[in-house]
Structures are given as C-alpha cells and as structure tokens.
Structure 1
C-alpha cells in the first residue's frame, strides 16, 4: 500500500505553494488561491486548501528528507538568506532543523 496524497489546510495557499516549490522542489499542477495541487518526485500529491483558522498541534509537521547533511545545511542557509527565522541544524534523531512555512504549518528538513 502506498500513501498517495496529503491535504494541508493553510491560511495562504499561494504563499505556501510558492514556498514548497522554491525550497523543496514540489511542482504545482493547477489550482487557485483557495486550492492548489503539488507533486513530488515520487508521485505524492500534496493538496493545499484555504482555511481561515489554521491551528495544527505543536508537534505536527511535514518532513523533507535530504540525501546528506550538506543539503540540509544548504537549505537552512537559503532560508536564512531569504529572511526566514530558522535555527541552525542540530544532531537529534537526524541532522535536522524546522521552519515555519507560510500558511501556518511546520516543516522538518533532515538527513
């Protein structure tokens, strides 16, 4: 069995989609300011749906695995350079950091 899609409710569909495309390579295939469909390299479908009050639990996040610690460091630096508040990666269950994405959800980047 394969998980084929996940839906996230977000406060700003366009900003969240642009963020996921720019930093994580997802590809958009249609939608509007209220709903967007994104795809990853393995066929996972991530849909973004507009919501007024987005309130995920504090531990909720989606994750993007990276092939190396260097990739984690590079994404972290790109985010910092573009003005996002991110802590440096640290050794935990992996070489990892979290970022608050536009739209109201968290992302973990790990190798």
Structure 2
C-alpha cells in the first residue's frame, strides 16, 4: 500500500488512484503507525512538529499538540528518552495530525 514493497502483478488502488502513479498524494492522505517510531532519536516532539509542517500540506500543529497533551506525551523529551508506550503515542499523534483520510 505504501509502495515499500514492489508488487509482482495486479493493481493497488487507493482513493481511486494507482498507488505508484499517485504515491505522494496517497501518502499525504494516509496516516501510518509502524511497530516503532522511525525518526531520529535525538529529536523531541516539538522538533518533529517543525519537520512535519514541511512534509504534509495539511499538517495541523494545534491538533498535534492537543493529541500530545491528551496522550500525556512530553513535548521536549528526546525520543530516545521516551518509553515504548510513549513512543507509540507520539507515533499515533504524528499519524493523525495531518488529518489523513485513512489511518
């Protein structure tokens, strides 16, 4: 779905779009939570907000920080200092903050 693995045959359509031809558009409309948070561990949630603003056209900082507060995720603690549970909560906030059509 995310075009991380190449398909051998057939079609993959998301939002009525081919997943390869419209990869960036589809990724912008999708929120993904992996089994771990794959970002630089020296960053904190506030720094990640600044990066994501440049990645997603629909990034919503207010919504992101509301989710962090709701999940009790510290904004200034480095990722490497967070527990696994806190990392997952941060990952969920990151996945939701650009208002994806598909989570």
Identify the TM-score tier after normalising by the shorter chain: 0.3 to 0.5
Q: Which has the higher strand share?
A: 1
Q: Which has the higher helix share?
A: 2
- Structure-2-length-normalised TM-score: 0.33
Q: What TM-score do the two structures reach when normalised by structure 1?
A: 0.32
Larger Rg: 2
Higher relative contact order (CA 8 A, sep 6+): 2
